[in-house]
C-alpha cells in the first residue's frame, strides 16, 4: 500500500490575519493589503509570493461569501473537499450548484452563448463601466417664490473624478495592472457538468485590473468628494413636491461611466392668507352686516398688489366672487389662474347699549317670516321612498 501525504491547509482566518468575527469590511481591508503585498506583478519570479497570493485569494473568496463562510465555520476545509463527480464531502462539494447565484450565472451563460450576446461580461470581458448615483436636494421656497419663480444657488457634496489620476486609481506615472487571477476578464469560469459557470473574480471584483500603487489623492478609489455650487432656476407656477432634474450633476461614474443626475425637490411654504387649488387661489373675506346689506367696495390684497372688489347690496354669506387672472401663473404656459374670494358675513358677539337699541329699532322695521325655506337631503330621500 502506497503512502499518501497529508497536507494541512492553514486556517482561512489566519491566512488573512483576522478574527473569526471579523466584519465584511475588515475582511476586505485585510485581503486588499495582502493582495497588494504578494501580487505576482510586484514579486516577479517569486514562487512563494505567488503561492501566498493564491492562498489569501482563496481565503477571501470563501469568507466573503456568507453561505460559504457559514459552511467553513461549521465544517472547516472539509466543507469544500467534495468529489468532482457528485455531491460529496461538504455542502459546497463537487458537481452540485453552490448557491442560487450559480444558477443565475449558468442560465446567463447559456443565453449568452446561444445568442452570441456580448458587452455584459457573459462569455467575454466584464464591463467595468459604472453609472454614478443620482442625488437629491430638498429646496424650501416661500409661497411667492413658487408662484413667480426664483433663482437659488445651492451647494451639494458629490464624488467627482479624481483630478490627479483621472479616474484610474493609480499613482502618477502608474497604471492599473492586469489581474492575474482572471487574466483581465473580470470573471473566473468553472466547469459544472454540462455547464460553464462564470463568477465575478474575487480578486479584482470584476474590473479585470488591480491597483498596485494607489493614487495618493483618492487612495485608489478613483473619485474624491467635493463641494459643488449649482444655480437652480425655479420656473413660475411650481407646486409642492415638484422635481427639477439636472442631468449629469449627480455622482461621477466609475471607469468612464456617465455621471448620475441631481433631483431638486421643492417644498413650498403655506401662505398665511391664500389657499392654492391648482393655479387658482382662494381666500375668505369677512364683512359686517351693514356692509352686506348696503353693499361696499373692498380692497383685496392679491399676489401682485391691491385690487378693488365691488360687493353688491344684500350679499349673502358664502357667496364667491372671482378676480380673473389674479391667481398663480400656469407652469410653462401663458396666463394665470383666478383669485376666488368668499364673503363671510360676521355676526357681532359684543354690542354696547346704543348698538343694541339701533338693532332693535331696525328689527321693528323689518318683517321676516321665521319659517323654513328648504328641506334637508335626508327629508327629501324619505319622501322619495314613501
Q: Band the pLDDT of 8: cuts 50, 70, 90.
A: low
Domain co-membership, 217 together with 314: no
State the sign of the Cα–Cα–Cα–Cα dihedral 36, 37, 41, 46: negative
Summarised one tens digit per residue, pLDDT across range 79-91 is: 776 533 334 444 4
Q: Specify the number of domains making up the chain.
A: 3
Q: Which residue has the cell 451563460?
A: 109
Confidence of residue 97 (pLDDT cuts 50, 70, 90): very low
Four-CA torsion 246, 250, 252, 253, nearest 10 degrees: -80
* Same-domain pairing of 149 and 257: yes
Report the DSSP beta bridge partners of residue 285.
343
Q: State the Cα torsion 167-170-173-178 to the nearest 10°.
A: -110
Task: Assign 114 a pLDDT band (cuts: 50, 70, 90).
Answer: very low
Helix (H, G, I), strand (E, B) or coil at 210: strand
Q: Are residues 149 and 75 in the same domain?
A: no
- The reply to whether 375 falls in a domain is no
Q: What is the DSSP string of 81-128?
A: ---TTTT-SSTT-TTS--SHHHHHHHHHHHHHHHHT--SSSTTSPPP-
In this predicted structure, what is the pLDDT of residue 193? 54
CATH of the domain at 285: 2.60.260.20
pLDDT at 5 over 80: no
Q: Are residues 220 and 335 in the same domain?
A: no
From 268, 285, 316, give the residue that closes a domain: 268
Indicate if 306 and 223 belong to the same structural domain. Answer: no
Q: Distance between CA 29 and CA 12 in Å, rounded? A: 15
Q: What is the model's pLDDT at position 374?
A: 56
Q: What is the pLDDT of residues 125-160, one digit of tens each?
A: 445 678 899 999 999 999 999 999 999 999 999 999
3-state secondary structure of 381: helix
Q: All 3 cell numbers of residue 33?
A: 493589503
pLDDT higher than threshold 50 for residue 337: yes
Per-residue confidence (pLDDT) for residue 169, from 0 to 100: 87
Same domain for 312 and 225?
no
3-19 burial, b if ≥16 CB within 10 A, otherwise e? eeeeeeeeebbebbebe
Residue 259, domain member (yes or no): yes
What is residue 287's predicted lDDT score, i.e. its pLDDT?
93
Report d(CA 182, CA 188) in Å as an integer: 6
Please provide the DSSP assignment of 16-75 as one string: HT--TT--HHHHHHHHHHHHHHH-TTTSTT-HHHHHHHHHHHHHHHHHTSHHHHHHHHHH
Same domain, 76 and 106: yes
| Arithmetic mean of pLDDT, 162-173 | 88
Same domain, yes or no: 307 and 218: no
> Domain holding 84: CATH number?
1.10.287.110
- Does residue 367 lie within any of the structural domains? no
Instruction: Please choose, from the candidates 335, 337, 310, the residue with its C-alpha nearest in 3D space to the C-alpha of residue 326.
Output: 337
pLDDT of 104? 36
What is the mean predicted confidence (pLDDT) over 157-172? 89
What pLDDT, on a 0 to 100 scale, did the predictor assign at position 368? 60
Q: Which domain holds residue 66?
A: 12-115
What is the total residue count of the chain?
386
**Which of 32-46, 179-193, 252-266 is modeled with the greatest confidence?**
252-266
Distinct helix (H) and strand (E) counts, the chain: 9, 15
Q: Which three cell numbers stand for residue 351?
A: 354690542
Q: Report residue 67's pLDDT band, with 50, 70 and 90 as the boundaries.
A: confident
- Whether 184 has a pLDDT exceeding 80, the answer reads yes
Distance CA 198, CA 124 (A): 10
* pLDDT greater than 80 at residue 343: yes
Residues 31, 74, single domain; the answer is yes
Percent of the chain with pLDDT over 90: 39
Contact indicator for 82, 94 with CB cutoff of 8 Å: yes
- 283 labeled binding residue: no
Q: Which three cell numbers stand for residue 379?
A: 327629508
Shared-domain flag, residues 284 and 315:
yes
Most confident of 10-19, 117-126, 197-206, 278-287: 278-287
- One domain, residues 155 and 258: yes
In a domain, 162, yes or no: yes
Q: Tell me, what's the pLDDT at 76?
A: 80
- Share the mean pLDDT of the chain: 80
- Tell which of 268, 286, 314 closes a domain: 268
pLDDT at 105: 38
Q: Looking at the structure, tell me whether residues 338 and 355 fall in a common domain.
A: yes
pLDDT tens column, 262-297: 999 999 999 999 999 999 999 999 999 899 999 999
Percent of the chain with pLDDT over 70: 79
The pLDDT value recorded for residue 232 is 96
204 marked as binding residue:
yes
Domain contains 54: yes
Q: If pLDDT is split at 50, 70 and 90, which confidence band does 366 have? A: confident
Asked, for residue 287, whether it belongs to a domain, the answer is yes
Tell me, what's the pLDDT at 359? 85
Q: How far apart are CA 152 and CA 129, in angstroms?
A: 34
Query: Is 56 one of the annotated binding-site residues?
Result: no
DSSP code of residue 241: T
Instruction: Please give the pLDDT value at position 375.
Output: 56
For the residues 295-321, what does the mean pLDDT come to?
93
The number of CA neighbours under 13 Å toward the Cβ of 224 is: 16
**How far apart are alpha carbons 313 and 379 in whole angstroms?**
33
> Does residue 196 lie in a domain region?
no
Q: Is 162 annotated as a binding residue?
A: yes
Does residue 181 sit within a domain?
no
- Rounded Cα distance between 297 and 309, Å, is 6
Checking if the pLDDT of 21 tops 80, the result is: yes
For 201-235, write each residue's pLDDT tens digit: 888 878 888 888 888 888 888 889 999 999 999 99
Domain boundary, last residue among 46, 81, 115: 115
Amino acid at each position: 500500500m502506497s503512502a499518501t501525504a497529508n497536507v494541512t491547509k492553514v486556517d482561512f482566518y489566519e491566512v488573512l490575519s483576522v478574527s473569526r468575527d471579523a466584519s465584511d469590511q475588515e475582511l476586505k481591508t485585510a485581503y486588499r493589503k495582502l493582495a497588494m503585498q504578494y501580487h505576482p506583478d510586484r514579486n516577479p519570479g517569486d514562487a512563494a509570493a505567488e503561492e501566498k497570493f493564491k492562498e489569501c485569494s482563496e481565503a477571501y473568496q470563501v469568507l466573503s461569501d456568507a453561505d460559504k463562510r457559514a459552511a467553513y465555520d461549521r465544517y472547516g476545509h472539509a466543507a469544500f473537499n467534495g468529489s468532482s463527480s457528485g455531491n460529496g464531502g461538504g455542502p459546497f462539494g463537487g458537481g452540485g450548484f453552490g448557491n442560487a447565484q450559480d444558477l443565475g450565472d449558468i442560465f446567463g451563460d447559456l443565453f449568452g452563448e446561444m445568442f452570441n450576446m456580448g458587452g455584459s461580461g457573459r462569455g467575454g470581458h466584464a464591463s467595468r463601466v459604472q453609472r454614478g448615483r443620482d442625488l437629491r436636494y430638498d429646496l424650501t421656497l416661500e409661497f411667492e417664490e413658487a408662484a413667480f419663480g426664483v433663482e437659488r444657488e445651492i451647494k451639494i457634496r458629490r464624488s467627482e473624478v479624481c483630478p490627479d489620476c483621472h479616474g484610474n486609481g493609480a499613482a502618477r506615472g502608474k497604471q492599473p495592472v492586469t489581474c492575474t487571477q482572471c487574466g483581465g476578464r473580470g470573471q473566473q469560469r468553472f466547469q459544472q457538468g454540462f455547464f460553464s459557470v462564470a463568477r465575478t473574480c474575487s480578486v479584482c471584483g470584476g474590473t479585470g485590473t488591480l491597483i498596485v500603487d494607489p493614487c495618493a489623492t483618492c487612495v485608489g478609489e478613483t473619485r474624491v468628494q467635493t463641494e459643488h455650487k449649482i444655480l437652480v432656476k425655479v420656473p413660475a407656477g411650481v407646486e409642492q413636491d415638484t422635481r427639477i432634474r439636472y442631468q449629469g450633476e449627480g455622482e461621477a461614474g466609475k471607469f468612464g461611466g456617465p455621471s448620475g443626475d441631481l433631483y431638486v425637490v421643492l417644498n413650498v411654504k403655506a401662505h398665511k392668507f391664500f389657499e392654492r387649488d391648482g393655479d387658482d387661489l382662494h381666500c375668505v373675506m369677512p364683512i359686517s352686516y351693514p356692509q352686506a346689506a348696503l353693499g361696499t367696495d373692498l380692497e383685496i390684497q392679491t399676489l401682485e398688489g391691491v385690487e378693488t372688489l365691488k360687493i353688491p347690496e344684500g350679499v349673502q354669506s358664502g357667496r364667491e366672487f372671482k378676480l380673473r387672472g389674479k391667481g398663480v401663473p400656469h407652469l410653462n404656459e401663458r396666463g394665470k389662474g383666478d383669485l376666488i374670494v368668499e364673503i363671510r358675513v360676521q355676526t357681532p358677539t359684543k354690542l354696547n347699549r346704543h348698538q343694541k337699541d339701533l338693532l332693535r329699532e331696525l328689527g321693528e322695521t323689518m318683517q321676516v317670516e321665521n319659517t323654513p325655506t328648504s328641506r334637508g337631503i335626508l327629508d327629501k330621500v324619505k319622501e322619495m321612498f314613501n
